[in-house]
Structures are given as C-alpha cells and as structure tokens.
C-alpha cells in the first residue's frame, strides 16, 4: 500500500514526525505493508514544497534545521498558498500541524475542510479545530467518507481519545478533570520552592517550556482549549473555548502559594468538564490538592487527566515530562489507525 502525505506545518513536531517516519520505514513495509511518500510540505513563512513524486525528506529536514527555510530547496519549491497546495496536491492524508489560533481555530479549520473536500484523510495536532469546530468537521469527514484523527491535540502522545474509543466501548464519560497545561504546572511547582512567578517564568523560558509571551498559558487559555476539545469529543459538549468559565493563575502571588504549602497543599490549574443533564459545564481555575489527591505527584511539565465513567468509575492517565517526540508518536499512531481502517475498506 502506498500512502502519500501532505504536511501542513514543518516546525519541531513536523520534523520529529518525519524523523520517526524515516526510522520506521522498514517496519512499516515489513509489518504493515505500507510505503509512504510526502507529496507536499507547506509552511507560513519558511517556504513550501509540492511534488508529483516524493520529496527528499532527509534533505528537507537538513535545510530546515541548518538554514531555517525550504525556499531554496529546488524545483519542488512553490509560491502556492497553503490552501492551493492542499487542494492541488496528490495526497491521501494531510497532517495539519499549524500554530493554534486561540481566538477562532483558523485557518486550520479551513485547511481541514479543504482536505476533506478533496478526499483526503486528516490528522491534526492542532487543538483549535477540535475545540472550535469538532462537530462540523467530524460530520463533514463522515459525509466525505474520510477519516479525522487528533490524538496529539491533548497530552501530546498519550492515548486519550483512542483509549476511550478502542478500550471503553459502552462507557459514558460523565466528567473530566485534568492538569493540561505544562507551563502553569511547572511555574506553580517553582513557586512552591520559593520563586516568584516572574522568576519561575524566566526559568521556564530558559528551558524552552513556554513561549516568549506566556499569557496564553498563565491566563488559562491553553487549558481552556484542551478541556473543550476533550469535552467536545468525549462528552458531545458542542462548546468552544470562549464559553469556558476561565480563571488563570495570574493573580496567584508568592504569599498565596506559600500559604497553601504551609497547609500541606499544592496549587494546581485544574480544567474540568461536568455533565448536568443535557448541558456540559466547562471550567478552568486554580485549586488546591492534598497528598491524598491523585494530582499531588504530577509535577514539572507532566500532565494528567481523570475520566469519570458510568461503568468503570474513575480512570486517570498521567504523562511524565513529554517532548515533541511524544506528539510525533501521536501523529504516527493516528496514521496507523487510519491505514488499518483504509485496509478494511
């Protein structure tokens, strides 16, 4: 089976995914009877490529790493817009890895719609489309007879969506709680050890944990987008991040944190979704946990999610200090699930 891919976005996760693909090429051929080619790579500012054959992936990674751009790659370089590349490239599967737009999820939503219109399956690691337009996109995928997967949107490569889909048949998710933002988890941990928030943020920036402007993390927006994505998929919430009852950690002071520590408590930014009849209420707000709480030991850049179910009680998944390699694996695992579904027809 030949699988042709289009990569929309080619940053750290995109390059890590390509490295993973290359390292698993022999395994894919031997165990899955799959060979792959990349027909297109689109970036917003670093050049784009489209090919009727196969892009040289090792060369693309080398150029992106050494010069930061694909503009001088060669004949496959193109000035086509991202939408034009999606609509015209000969690909079976689009991997959408663009940057989150916290206000609307665009233009990633339009990119995915364009892929569906042209018969392409889609994997995204961008949480925006799932948080802002999950029902629209999943309905469109069904009508077009293509597959839509998004495991990498929450908790990197940790299986959450596929875990529920594949291993909890018949279970209803009636509540979700999670520590979903690694930056705030790290910052609060540093404050517990005596740093001010500004000092903790400087450490986070130095380690590459946060962006230059950490507002999206500190104000709770990132957690709001992630819990909305989870609630939309697992609880049919039909919500968006603008509807979340959101309070970040920006007002938490060193004194507030120390007061909690002196009471043997840890402050955490907790995202939750809870069903009340037909309504799902979604919140993001600081809370305190004690030693008996399962979130107590989730420190540093780790994440955790607790799923409350009607048949299996509470199930908690913890991810320890992820890297881009885990998100790359999520894309890879989604690709394997799509390949399996394509083989079954």
**Would you say residue 212 has pLDDT above 90?**
no
C-alpha distances in Å from residue 112, one per residue of 90, 117, 241, 344: 15, 9, 19, 23
3-state secondary structure of 77: strand
Residue 213 pLDDT grade (very low, low, confident, very high; cuts 50, 70, 90): confident
**Mean pLDDT over the full length of the chain:** 96
Closest C-alpha among 325, 340, 341 to residue 18:
325
What average pLDDT does range 136-149 have in this prediction? Answer: 98
Catalytic-residue membership of 120 = no
CB-based contact 78:43 (threshold 8 Å): no
Instruction: Report the percent of the chain where pLDDT is more than 70.
Output: 100
**Would you say residue 345 has pLDDT above 80?**
no
Is the CATH number of domain 2-157+325-344 3.40.190.10?
A: no
331 contacts: CB under 8 Å, gap ≥ 6: 13, 17, 95, 97, 123, 125, 151, 152
Class of CATH domain 166-321:
alpha beta
Q: For 241-299, how does the pLDDT look when each residue is reduced to its tens digit (9 = 90+)?
A: 999 999 999 999 999 999 999 999 999 999 999 999 889 999 999 999 999 999 999 99
3-state secondary structure of 37: strand
CB atoms within 10 A of CB 156: 23
CB-based contact 96:112 (threshold 8 Å): yes
**Would you say residue 334 has pLDDT above 80?**
yes
What's the distance, CA 3 to chain centroid?
Answer: 23
Q: How far is the C-alpha of 267 from the C-alpha of 157, rounded, in Å?
A: 26
**Would you say residue 205 has pLDDT above 80?**
yes
C-alpha distances in Å from residue 181, one per residue of 242, 264, 330: 17, 22, 18
**Would you say residue 178 has pLDDT above 90?**
yes
CB-based contact 225:127 (threshold 8 Å): yes
In this predicted model, which residue has the larger pLDDT, 251 or 213?
A: 251
Domain ranges in the chain?
A: 2-157+325-344, 166-321
Strand partners of residue 121: 93
Q: How far is the C-alpha of 24 from the C-alpha of 7, rounded, in Å?
A: 17
Q: For 26-81, how does the pLDDT look when each residue is reduced to its tens digit (9 = 90+)?
A: 999 999 999 999 999 999 999 999 999 999 999 999 999 999 999 989 899 999 99
What's the distance, CA 326 to chain centroid?
Answer: 10
- Cα–Cα–Cα angle for 34, 69, 58, rounded to 5 degrees: 30
Q: Catalytic: which of 113, 120, 226, 268? A: 226
Residue 343 pLDDT grade (very low, low, confident, very high; cuts 50, 70, 90): confident
Q: Copy the structure tokens of residue 333.
A: 């695992």
pLDDT at 208: 86
**Would you say residue 344 has pLDDT above 90?**
no
Instruction: Report the percent of the chain where pLDDT is more than 90.
Output: 94
Long-range residue pairs from 249-252, CB within 8 A, at least 24 positions apart, any chain = 249/184, 249/187, 249/188, 249/197, 249/218, 249/220, 249/286, 250/218, 250/219, 252/188, 252/191, 252/197, 252/286
Strand partners of residue 95: 7, 123
Closest C-alpha among 149, 169, 174, 145 to residue 159:
149
Rg (CA), the chain: 21
Residue 12 pLDDT grade (very low, low, confident, very high; cuts 50, 70, 90): very high
Q: Copy the structure tokens of residue 107.
A: 């233009």
pLDDT at 211: 73
Reported as type and span, the H/E element at residue 307 is strand 303-309
pLDDT at 209: 87
The DSSP bridge pattern shows strands 314-319 and 303-309 to be antiparallel
Full 3-state SS string of 207-248: CCCCCCCCHHHHCCHHHHHHHHHHHHHHHCCCCCHHHCEECC
CB atoms within 10 A of CB 279: 10
**Would you say residue 88 has pLDDT above 90?**
yes
What average pLDDT does range 139-147 have in this prediction? Answer: 98
Residue 97 pLDDT grade (very low, low, confident, very high; cuts 50, 70, 90): very high
């Amino acid at each position: 089976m030949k699988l042709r891919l289009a990569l929309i976005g080619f940053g750290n996760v995109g390059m890590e995914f390509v490295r993973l693909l290359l390292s698993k090429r022999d395994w894919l051929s031997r165990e899955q009877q799959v060979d792959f080619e990349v027909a297109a790579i689109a970036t917003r500012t670093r050049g784009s490529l489209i090919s009727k054959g196969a892009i040289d992936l090792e060369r693309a990674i080398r150029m992106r790493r050494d010069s930061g751009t694909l503009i001088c790659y060669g004949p496959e370089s193109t000035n086509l817009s991202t939408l034009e590349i999606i609509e015209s490239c000969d690909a079976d599967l689009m991997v959408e890895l663009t940057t989150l737009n916290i206000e609307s999820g665009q233009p990633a939503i339009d990119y995915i719609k364009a892929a569906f219109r042209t018969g392409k399956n889609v994997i995204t690691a961008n949480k925006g489309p799932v948080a802002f337009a999950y029902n629209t996109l999943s309905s469109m995928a069904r009508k077009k007879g293509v597959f839509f997967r998004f495991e990498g949107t929450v908790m990197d490569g940790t299986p959450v969506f596929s875990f529920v889909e594949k291993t909890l048949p018949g279970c209803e998710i009636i509540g979700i709680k999670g520590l979903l933002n690694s930056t705030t988890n790290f910052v609060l941990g540093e404050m517990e050890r005596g740093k001010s928030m500004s000092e903790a943020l400087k450490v986070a920036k130095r380690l590459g944990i946060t962006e230059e402007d950490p507002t999206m993390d500190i104000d709770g927006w990132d957690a709001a987008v992630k819990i909305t994505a989870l609630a939309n998929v697992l609880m049919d919430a039909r919500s968006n991040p603008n509807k979340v009852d959101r309070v970040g950690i920006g007002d938490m002071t060193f004194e507030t944190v120390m007061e909690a520590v002196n009471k043997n408590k840890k402050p955490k930014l907790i995202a939750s979704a809870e069903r009340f009849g037909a309504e799902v209420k979604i919140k993001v707000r600081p809370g305190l946990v004690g030693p008996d709480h399962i979130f107590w030991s989730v420190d540093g850049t780790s994440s955790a999610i607790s799923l409350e179910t009607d048949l299996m009680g509470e199930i908690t998944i913890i991810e320890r200090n992820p890297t881009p390699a885990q998100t790359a694996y999520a894309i890879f695992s989604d690709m394997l699930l799509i390949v399996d579904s394509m083989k079954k027809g």
